[in-house]
C-alpha cells in the first residue's frame, strides 16, 4: 500500500455507507452523534477495554485496532509512512465545512467524553461560523488527492508555515465532513464520499465520515493502516449499538464556542495548487465512471445455506464464479481477501476462488443439454468443499500471494533482477501483481452498514458482500463498459447484480430440487 504512488481516491481507499438507528433531526445532529459515539469507542480502545478476539479457539492479532484512530498516511518520496499518535493525549476531532477546518476536544479535562448536547453545540457553532463566511475556506485537503510524490513535495511546503494546523488534522481521532448534496440513493453517497468535494476531505486519514444535509452517512477509509472487516466494522457496530440508546429528540441547539478554527498561511502558488488538485480529482472521477449497485438479497441467507451442509462464504463465491462465467463467457482469476490475524500483526492473504472444481461446476451449469440436477449438485458440493479448503489454507498462512510478494520485495531490496516468474504473462493472467479481474471480500456485518472498493483493473468488478442470517447484501462496483477493454460485450454493476441474483437462485433451486427428490426415495 505505502509504495503506491497513485492518488488515493481511485486507488486503494475503501468506502461504505451506514444507516443510523434513528432518522437524523438535522445534519448537525447526525454529525454530533457520530463524533460522540466514535469518541466513546476511542476511549474504550485506548483504555484496553476492547475484548481480544478469537476464532475457532485461535487468538487473533488486535494490532490493527491501534491504528484505527489518531492515524494518518504521510506522503513521502517513493514510499509513504504511517503516523500513529498517542490516543491518550490527542483527544480531538476535526470537522470540515465548506473548506473550513475546525477541531475540538471531545474529552473533558478529567478524561470523560463530553455529553452529547455539548458535542452538538460545538458542531452547531462550527456550522454557523462557516455559513457566515462570505467565501469558502481554502480546502487544503484537496492536496491529499494528488499523486503521492506530488503531495509529498506540497506537504513539505505546507508544513513550513502551517505545522500547527497540519498537526491538528493528522493527529485527530477522526475527521467528519459536511456534505453539500443529498443522495437520491446511497450509490450517490458512496461516490461522494470517495471522490466528491475534495476541498472537504482528507484522504490520508484512516476514517472520514461524510454526512449529507439530511443526515445520510457514508465514510471513506485509507486502507494501509487497517482492513475494514477487522477494525472499522466492529467500530460501526459499537457506534450503532450506542446510538440505539440515544433516541433523537428535536431541540433547538445553541452554538458552542469551545472549538478552534484551523488557520492556514498560504501563498498564491499554494492556492493554485489546491484548486489544480481539486480539478484533477474531478477529472479523475469522470474517468473512473464508477457504477455502484447496492442490494440486499432476501431469498435466503446463512441459516438456509448451512442447513444444506454447505459453507455460506463458499456458496456465494461459487455463485460469483457462475455469474461472471455466464457474463464473460470465460473463467477469470478471482481474489477473495482472507485475514491472517492468527499471526503477529497479521493482515491478509488471498483465497484464489477460481478453482478447477468451480470451473467444472460453471461449465456444467451452462452446457446444453445441462447434466442432471443430481450431477450438478455433486459438482456444486465439490466446488464448495474445495473453496473451504482454500479458505483454511489461507487462514493458516498457506496461501501463495503474500509469499510471492515477499520474495519479490526481497529481490528488490537486495538489488537483484526481477525473477522471470514475475515477468511471465501467465503470472499476470493469474492475478499476480494485483491484476485480478474479479476482486471480492466477505465483509459480513449487521444490516446497518455495507462497504465497497474499486475493481483492481479497468474492466474488472469489485464485489463486497455481507452474509446475514436470512439475507445476503452486496455492493458491486465496475467502471462503465469500454469496448476496447472487454471486447464490446460489456457489463455494468447492474448486470453483475442481475447475474449474481440469478446464480444464487439457480443454485438454491438445485439444492432443493435434489433434496426433495432424495427425501422421497
Q: Residue 87's Cα: distance from chain center in Å?
A: 23
H or E segment and range at residue 104: strand 100-105
Q: Which residues of 98-129 are buried (b: 16+ CB within 10 A; e: fewer)?
A: bbbbbbbbbbeeeeebbebebbbbbbbbbbeb
What is d(CA 161, CA 167) in angstroms, rounded to the nearest whole number? 12
Query: Strand (E) positions, 169-264?
Result: 175-178, 208-211, 217-221, 260-261
- Among 376, 387, 263, 366, which residue's Cα sits nearest to residue 315? 387
For 392, other C-beta atoms within 10 Å of its C-beta total 13
Q: For residue 451, what are the CA distances in angstroms to 236, 440, 446? A: 11, 11, 12
Query: Is 223 known to be catalytic?
Result: yes
For 490, other C-beta atoms within 10 Å of its C-beta total 15
- Among 119, 246, 96, 78, which residue's Cα sits nearest to residue 179? 96
Burial class (CB in 10 A: 0-12, 13-18, 19+), 341: buried
What is d(CA 247, CA 315) in angstroms, rounded to the nearest whole number? 39
- Helix, strand, coil content of the chain in percent (nearest 5): 45, 15, 40
- Confirm if 238 and 37 have CB atoms less than 8 A apart: yes
Cell reading at 138: 481554502
User: Angle 253-258-264 (CA atoms, 0-180°, nearest 5)?
Assistant: 115
Task: Tell me which of 40, 63, 223, 512 is the catalytic residue.
Answer: 223
Regarding beta strands 100-105 and 175-178, do their DSSP bridges make them parallel or antiparallel, or are they unpaired?
unpaired
* Positions marked active-site: 223
Amino acid at each position: 500500500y505505502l509504495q503506491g504512488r497513485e492518488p488515493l481516491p481511485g486507488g486503494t481507499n475503501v468506502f461504505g455507507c451506514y444507516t443510523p438507528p434513528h432518522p437524523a433531526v438535522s445534519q448537525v445532529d447526525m454529525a454530533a452523534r457520530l463524533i460522540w459515539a466514535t469518541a466513546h469507542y476511542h476511549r474504550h480502545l485506548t483504555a484496553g477495554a476492547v475484548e481480544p478476539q478469537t476464532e475457532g479457539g485461535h487468538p487473533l492479532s488486535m494490532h490493527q485496532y491501534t491504528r484505527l484512530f489518531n492515524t494518518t498516511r504521510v506522503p513521502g518520496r517513493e514510499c509513504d509512512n504511517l503516523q500513529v499518535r498517542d490516543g491518550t493525549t490527542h483527544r480531538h476531532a476535526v470537522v470540515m465545512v465548506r473548506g473550513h477546518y475546525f477541531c475540538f476536544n471531545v474529552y473533558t479535562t478529567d478524561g470523560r467524553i463530553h455529553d452529547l448536547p455539548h458535542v452538538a453545540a460545538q458542531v452547531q457553532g462550527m456550522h454557523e461560523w462557516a455559513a457566515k463566511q462570505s467565501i469558502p475556506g481554502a480546502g487544503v485537503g484537496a492536496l491529499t488527492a494528488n499523486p503521492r510524490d506530488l503531495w509529498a513535495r506540497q506537504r513539505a511546503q505546507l508544513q513550513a508555515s502551517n505545522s500547527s494546523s497540519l498537526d491538528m488534522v493528522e493527529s485527530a481521532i477522526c475527521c467528519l465532513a459536511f456534505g453539500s448534496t443529498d443522495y437520491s440513493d446511497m450509490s450517490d453517497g458512496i461516490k461522494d464520499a470517495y471522490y466528491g468535494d475534495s476541498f472537504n476531505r482528507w484522504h490520508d486519514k484512516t476514517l472520514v465520515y461524510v454526512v449529507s444535509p439530511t443526515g445520510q452517512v457514508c465514510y471513506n477509509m485509507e486502507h494501509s493502516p487497517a482492513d475494514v472487516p477487522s477494525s472499522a466494522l466492529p467500530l460501526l457496530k459499537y457506534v450503532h449499538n450506542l446510538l440505539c440508546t440515544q433516541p433523537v429528540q428535536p431541540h433547538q441547539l445553541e452554538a458552542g464556542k469551545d472549538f478552534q478554527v484551523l488557520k492556514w498561511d498560504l501563498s498564491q502558488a499554494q492556492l493554485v495548487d489546491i484548486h489544480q488538485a481539486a480539478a484533477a480529482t474531478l477529472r479523475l472521477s469522470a474517468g473512473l465512471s464508477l457504477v455502484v449497485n447496492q442490494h440486499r438479497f432476501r431469498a435466503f441467507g446463512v441459516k438456509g445455506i448451512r442447513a444444506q451442509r454447505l459453507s455460506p462464504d463458499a456458496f456465494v463465491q461459487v455463485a460469483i464464479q457462475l455469474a461472471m462465467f455466464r457474463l464473460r463467457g470465460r473463467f477469470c482469476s478471482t481474489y477473495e481477501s482472507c485475514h491472517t490475524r492468527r499471526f503477529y500483526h497479521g493482515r491478509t492473504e488471498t483465497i484464489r476462488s477460481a478453482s478447477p472444481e468451480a470451473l467444472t461446476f460453471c461449465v456444467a451449469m451452462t452446457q446444453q443439454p445441462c447434466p442432471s440436477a443430481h450431477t450438478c449438485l455433486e459438482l456444486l458440493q465439490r466446488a464448495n468443499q474445495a473453496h473451504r479448503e482454500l479458505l483454511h489454507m489461507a487462514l493458516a498462512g498457506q496461501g501463495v500471494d503474500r509469499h510471492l510478494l515477499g520474495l519479490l520485495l526481497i529481490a528488490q531490496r537486495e538489488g537483484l533482477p526481477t525473477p522471470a516468474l514475475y515477468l511471465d504473462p501467465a503470472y499476470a493472467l493469474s492475478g499476480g501483481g494485483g491484476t485480478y479481474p474479479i476482486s471480492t471480500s466477505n465483509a459480513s456485518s449487521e444490516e446497518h452498514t455495507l462497504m465497497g472498493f474499486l475493481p483492481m483493473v479497468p474492466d474488472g468488478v469489485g464485489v463486497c458482500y455481507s452474509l446475514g442470517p436470512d439475507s445476503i447484501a452486496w455492493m458491486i462496483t465496475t467502471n462503465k463498459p469500454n469496448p476496447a477493454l472487454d471486447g464490446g460485450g460489456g457489463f455494468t454493476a447492474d448486470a453483475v447484480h442481475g447475474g449474481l441474483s440469478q446464480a444464487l437462485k439457480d443454485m438454491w433451486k438445485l439444492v432443493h430440487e435434489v433434496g426433495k427428490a432424495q427425501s422421497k426415495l
